[in-house]
Structure 1
Amino acid sequence: MNIKITGTGSYIPDTIEKNEAFHEHIFLNNDGSVINSPNEVIIEKFQAITGIAERRYAKAHLNSSDLGFFAAEKAIIDAKIDPETLDYIIVAHNFGDVKHDTIQSDMLPCLAARIKHSLRIKNPKCVAYDILFGCPGWIEGVIQAKAFIKAGMAKRCLVIGSETLSRVIDKHDRDAMIFSDGAGATVIEATEEEGGILEHECASYTYDEAYYLYFGNSNNQALDKNTRYIKMDGRKIYEFALTTVPNAMKTCLDNSGLDIKDVKKIFIHQANEKMDEAILKRFYRLYRTEIPEGVMPMSIQTLGNSSVATVPTLFDLVRNNQIENQSLKKGDVLIFASVGAGMHINAFVYKY
């Protein structure tokens, strides 16, 4: 028995927010002081570092659970399954449903229950639950689905990553330009077909690193102190990721018994273009080998960082030949990896 991804789907919002939209923002430092640079310069430097030129925002009437539902429908159709046969629906997110122009997260009921309801699944044995694991949430959901199936507790799972980060950003923080909205979904099931998930690795670094990403006040100190926004220590996250993620990927690949030369694609969380490129360089340096051309597909330039949605969305796009010069063929060895709030890291090796 092998455990494979048999269907994928993604939902990419229609609303495109280009970098030019931030020209009128009032960007402030963490202490509330004005940044002594024109917005054009701030945005130019931002794009040079992150690679982000535009991002996607969900329409006002849609919430994260709606986006997850849309992606789930596509994955179920792609897998050609009856949704009533699903044993688990696992939804990774960070903030629940945050309605447009509100400040309160809504997670009652959980997003997985909402999506199951929207899918009109009657089967009570289809267990629906959420996981909060930062940006690596979708990968962690896949790892959990693998564990359920391997233990004989399930045959088929639906794993979704969905987020509307545009609703928890501080418009006075330059980091607000990083975040976006989206959803990706996958059907994971036991199959006699060759390939599937070969090995995984995950870890939580919390002793010193737990609050590298956190909920904090606006940089505009005149605003309500009780309203919180997503905040991060970018430098510390960068340094953390450059050490831990390549090592986790190497451990995972080595435990799979495969060689670095077998790897055809690496699907890494789309957090920051320069950071992802640096992680890739560190990873291949561990094997003292050159980086193959086109091994790391990227979507961050136009889709931004949609947290748990970045990896499954990217995989769906490549799988459906929607990213230029990127494609997959049967037997390809893939590595999926992520890093995020917690601080959590994870990875799995997959034979397509």
Structure 2
Amino acid sequence: MGIRISGTGSYIPSSVEKNADFKEHQFLNTDGSEFQQENNVIIEKFKAITGIGERRYADHQLTSSDLAVLAAEKAITNAGIDPETIDYIILAHNFGDVKHGTIQSDLLPCLASRVKHSLRIRNPKCVAYDILFGCPGWVEGVIQAQAFIKSGIAKRCLVIGSETLSRVVDKHDRDSMIYSDGAGATIIEASEEDDGILSHETASFTYDEAYYLFFGKSNNQDLCPDTRYIKMDGRKIYEFALKHVPLAMKTCLDNSGCDIKDVKKIFIHQANEKMDEAILKRFYRLYKTEIPDGIMPMSIHKFGNSSVATVPTLFDLVKNGQLKGHELRKGDIIMFASVGAGMHINAITYKY
């Protein structure tokens, strides 16, 4: 028996924010001083490093839980299931529902409960809860769903990653150009075949690394110092990811019993194009082999970094033939991997 993804769905907002839209922003250093470079130079360097040319922002009337519902409905339809048969709804996010134009995060009730309510699921034994695990939240949700099914306490789970990062960015911080909005959902259930999840790996590095991503005040010293925005130490995150993610992926793949040459696709969290490419290079270096062409699909160029939503939305796009040059065939060995706030790392080896 396997445990597999039987249905996928994603919601990618239609509102496009291009790099050129940031040309009039007032970017400042952390001490409030102005950059010596003009915005067009800052944006060009940003594009060269991250690969991001544009990103998506949610419509003003939608919150993160709304995006999650839209993605979940597609996954349920794709799997062809009755939502009343779902045993767990696991919703990964990091900032709750933040309404447009506000600064307060709303987490009461939890977002998973809101999704269950909106899906009109009556079954009280369908347990709904949130998971706060940084960008690796959706991958970790899938790992938890597998554990529930393997233990016998569940047969079917809905795992969602949803975020509206555009609502928690400091517009005076050039890192704000990285973040975007979106949601991806998956149905996880038992399979009579030997497909699905083959192995997984998770680690939390907190001794020195816990605050590489954090909530901090605006770079604009004239704004309220008590209003917090998402902040990061990009250099430390980059070095951390390159050191630890390839090793976690190797452990995961080795535990699956698969050979590196069996891997057809690797879905890495879309955080930074250069970082993802460097992770992939170091991963293959551990096996002393060359990187196959087309092994790593990328969506960051058009969709930006939507945190927990990047991996499930990317997988949904490839699965449905919506990403040019990429496809999946039955029996393909693929991997999911992510790194993010915490600092957390995880990976899954999967037989499609």
Q: Which residue of 1 aligns with 2:13?
A: 13
User: Matched residues in 2 for 1:277 and 1:38: separation?
Assistant: 28
Q: Using structure 2 for the length normalisation, give the TM-score.
A: 1.00
Question: Which runs of 4 or more aligned residues in structure 1 lie more than 6 Å from their structure 2 counterparts after TM superposition?
Answer: none
Paired residue secondary structure (1:226): coil
Unaligned runs of 5+ in 2: none
Q: Which residue of 1 aligns with 2:202?
A: 202
Q: Which moved more, 1:187-196 or 1:241-250?
A: 187-196
User: Matched residues in 1 for 2:37 and 2:2: separation?
Assistant: 55
Residues 1:66 and 2:60 aligned together: no
User: Matched residues in 1 for 2:343 and 2:158: separation?
Assistant: 25
Paired residue secondary structure (2:230): strand
User: Matched residues in 1 for 2:234 and 2:68: separation?
Assistant: 28
Q: Which residue of 1 aligns with 2:150?
A: 150
Deviations 1:297-319 (A, max 9, x none): 00000000000000000000000
User: Matched residues in 1 for 2:215 and 2:233: separation?
Assistant: 12
Residue 191 of structure 1, CA deviation = 1.4
Q: Using structure 1 for the length normalisation, give the TM-score.
A: 1.00
Q: Which residue of 2 aligns with 1:211?
A: 211
What pairs up with 1:121-270 in 2 under 5 angstroms? 121-270=121-270
Q: Which residue of 2 aligns with 1:76?
A: 76
Residues 1:41 and 2:56 aligned together: no
Deviations 1:250-275 (A, max 9, x none): 00000111100000000000000000
Query: Number of matched residues?
Result: 352
Q: Which residue of 2 aligns with 1:85?
A: 85
What's the % identity of the aligned pairs?
78
Q: Which residue of 1 aligns with 2:107?
A: 107
Residue 193 of structure 1, CA deviation = 2.2
User: Matched residues in 1 for 2:221 and 2:233: separation?
Assistant: 19
User: Matched residues in 1 for 2:258 and 2:320: separation?
Assistant: 26
Q: Which residue of 2 aligns with 1:309?
A: 309
Q: Which residue of 2 aligns with 1:331?
A: 331
User: Matched residues in 2 for 1:275 and 1:201: separation?
Assistant: 20
Paired residue secondary structure (2:276): helix
Deviations 1:72-93 (A, max 9, x none): 0000000000000000000000
Paired residue secondary structure (2:47): helix
Deviations 1:87-145 (A, max 9, x none): 00000000000000100000000000000000000000000000000000000000000
Residue 194 of structure 1, CA deviation = 2.8
Residue 276 of structure 1, CA deviation = 0.2
What amino acid is aligned across from residue 21 of structure 2 in structure 1? Answer: A
User: Matched residues in 2 for 1:60 and 1:79: separation?
Assistant: 30
Root-mean-square deviation (Å)? 0.4
User: Matched residues in 2 for 1:133 and 1:146: separation?
Assistant: 17
